[in-house]
Amino acid sequence: MSQPYHTRKVSVTKIFTFDSAHRLDDYIGKCANLHGHTYKLEVEVKGRTDHRGIVVDFADLKKIVTEHILAKYDHQFLNDHLPFNTTAENMVVFFFETIDTYVNKLDSAQDISLQRVRLWETPTCYAEITREDFDRESK
């Protein structure tokens, strides 16, 4: 059996979906009215593989997102649960902050970092924030 590629950094992504309703404040157009979406949330982490060749257990990512995003916002009226205008842009930054907090607490997190969160609002529209942009804006 060949050696694992444990000296390489690898990005891994887990995808989730959830359904929610919202309306946009201070907006002129159809989205000012109550409407819903099937959101697709892509969560990408990057790190070095361990002795088994694993960066992060997908089950760990699933647990974080299920407990801190899906359990709170799936089949909910987002305006009742989020303290900001529920645009995809605001939501993706909030989700990045939330997920990042818990990724950093993983036992295997010594060399793992959240790299990107992408929130699809429709099959053709998404908002995204990367680690680079998040860190630059946080300074």
Sheet with 35-48: list strands edge to edge. 9-22, 35-48, 112-122, 125-130
For 95-109, the pLDDT digits (tens) are 999 999 999 888 765
35: annotated binding-site residue? Answer: yes
- Would the pLDDT of 1 be above 60? no
Query: Which pLDDT band, with edges at 50, 70 and 90, does 7 fall under?
Result: low
37: annotated binding-site residue? Answer: yes
pLDDT of residue 8: 79
Catalytic annotation present for 125: no
Out of 31, 42, 68, 97, pick the active-site residue. 31
User: Going from the N-terminus, what domains does the chain have, and what CATH number goes with each?
Assistant: 9-138 (3.30.479.10)
73 token code pair: 């916002």
For 16-74, the pLDDT digits (tens) are 999 999 999 999 999 999 999 999 999 999 998 888 888 999 999 999 999 999 999 99
- Kind and range of the H or E run holding 99: helix 88-103
pLDDT of residue 39: 98
Out of 75, 81, 125, 132, pick the active-site residue. 75
> pTM of this prediction?
0.92
Residues in the chain: 139
pLDDT of residue 53: 84
48 token code pair: 């070095």
